[in-house]
Amino acid sequence: MSLYRFQKKISDFGLLSRLKADLLIKQGRVKFNYRQAIPREKLDPPSDYILVDEKDLPKKLNHKVFLLNKPYEVISSCQDNHGRQTILSLIPSDLRHGMHYIGRLDFDGRGAIILINNGDVTLRLTHPKYSHSKTSLIWVSGQPSQSILDNWRRGILLDGKMTMPARIEVLDRVNCITLLKVILKEGRKRQILRIATLIGHPAKDLQRPSISNIKSNGLQEEEWRELKKEEWISIIN
């Protein structure tokens, strides 16, 4: 008999990561055969029933990974209590079940975001130990000096902690603005925008053309496409 832990089963069906599944169990939101689930308890998938927030866990889920080109003024969230447009609303309703996003962009940012329903793949794409890079193109005011950019490359003190080294390249200078290519292997909240302000060159525009080696080439804003398995498998191995 093949036995699975609750955490793995829930994440395999793309509902959330194993860590979050463990938290749900501890919060009493998961039931096993209609009784309260116990952390690290094992189950037999063909015969046992799991309820998450009083809803049946689906027996099968077709793992899907989408690449979305997020436009301005769309929330990087699967739902919004204020009625604002979300990234999930940009894909057909019949494809939204179990989907969550990777690569949050701010309300005023645009570019590549991954939508996925596989918890294990999500962990591999987001955990720092896998060192996946995120590339951003940012127009900043003024013309940052070489010393300022070198400081950013080495790391900037942000919220009392140094940022990880960054790869920064000057792509263009037009009048009083500069286009920078910034590649990071971390993703603190509004990190690039906040650093641009800290160094005295506030951002005018921010776009993310790729996540790891997955590029949004050819996708117009608001458009999406399903990634082939060989595309997303290549960045988790």
Question: With a threshold of 0.75, does the pTM exceed it?
Answer: no
Query: Considering 106, 120, 159, 172, which one is annotated as catalytic?
Result: 106
- pLDDT bin (cut points 50, 70, 90) of residue 57 is low
Classify the C-alpha dihedral 162-190-131-143 as positive or negative. Answer: negative
DSSP class of 191: H
**Residue 106 annotated as catalytic:** yes
Taking the CB of residue 218, how many other CB atoms lie within 10 A of it?
8
Mean pLDDT of the chain: 81
Q: Where are the alpha helices (DSSP H) in the chain?
A: 6-12, 18-26, 119-126, 146-154, 191-198, 229-233
Element containing residue 213 per DSSP (H, E)? none
If one compares 72 and 33, the residue with the highest pLDDT of the two is 72
- The predicted model gives 179-204 an average pLDDT of 92
Is the pLDDT at 146 greater than 60? The verdict is yes
Residue 2 pLDDT: 43
Distance CA 11, CA 30 (A): 13
On whether the CB atoms of residues 201 and 145 are closer than 8 A, the answer is: no
Please tell me the predicted confidence (pLDDT) of residue 1: 34
Q: Which of 124, 80, 82 is nearest to 102 (CA)?
A: 124
Classify strands 110-116 and 203-211 as parallel, antiparallel or unpaired.
parallel
pLDDT of residue 3: 46
Q: Which residue has the higher pLDDT, 137 or 51?
A: 137
Q: Does the pLDDT value for residue 107 go beyond 70?
A: yes
Domains, the chain, with CATH or none: 4-56 (3.10.290.10), 65-128+214-233 (3.30.70.580), 133-211 (3.30.70.1560)
pLDDT greater than 90 at residue 158: yes
Q: Which residues contact 20 (CB under 8 A, 6 or more apart)?
A: 119
